[in-house]
Amino acid sequence: MNEDPRLEQAARNTHILRYPYQTLDTFGVTNIEYYILTHPVYEEPGDFREIVIRTGKVIASKPQIITPYYMAKAEGFSQEAVRYFSSVGQVMPGLLYTYKNEPGELHIVEGPLSQVAARISKQLDDESKNLGAIISGDDELWDVSLMRFIMTYTRDSLPNNFQDLQSRHLIDLDGRGVPRAARIEIERMFEETQDGRMDPDDLKKELDNWDLFEEYEPRFYDLFRKH
């Protein structure tokens, strides 16, 4: 249960006034342009004349296919937890979404919130910005509203992303419980490490998280012999 009632109130006061016309990209990065509209904290309720507009971008990385075993290794679970995940066959692959918020500008304008939102929405439509979002919330906790939007958007994108991955058999597990997508990603990391575009430690960490270092060990050390 949330111990801070302000956070719950901020979440309840969040409204998505314009939803992106596209779901999160399954195979690439998604850039969501957001506008968060709030009443200034200095105005009294019932006397709202101004609207605070905060702009920015949320950059969503390509969803990563993981398993509970992978998460256990990556997030520092105990050896007992790791062995348990291993004993159940590393089943139930899921998707991991990661985000980066890049705040933009802040403007204060006059007018009812509904009219300000309508103007921004028309501008986004005119510019064919299908990934534009307009959100209203509380001024002091505006980023709580942003997080609420991200959670909702991720939830709504998940079925489409999962279906895309299933159609390409990228979620299929091999005999070691490793998704096909993870094998493809490892191959990409080997290429980038060989070309000097990736730190070998990052490749080693990924192999360890999938418990695959022993399998790839000769190939991993070959990278250093070739240099």
Bridging pattern class, strands 64-66 and 94-96: antiparallel
Residue 199 within any structural domain of the chain: no
Which residues lie closer than 8 Å to 180 by C-beta, 6 or more apart?
169, 170, 171, 172, 173, 174
Number of separate domains in the chain: 1
Residue 198 within any structural domain of the chain: no
pLDDT digits (tens, 9 = 90+) for 114-142: 999 999 999 999 999 999 999 999 999 99
Residue 133 within any structural domain of the chain: yes
Residue 190 within any structural domain of the chain: no
pLDDT digits (tens, 9 = 90+) for 147-204: 999 999 999 999 999 999 999 999 999 988 899 999 999 999 999 999 999 999 999 9
Residue 207 within any structural domain of the chain: no
Q: Could you tell me which of 1, 3, 11 has the C-alpha nearest to residue 146?
A: 11
- Domain range for 124 is 5-61+97-167
pTM: 0.84
Residue 53 within any structural domain of the chain: yes
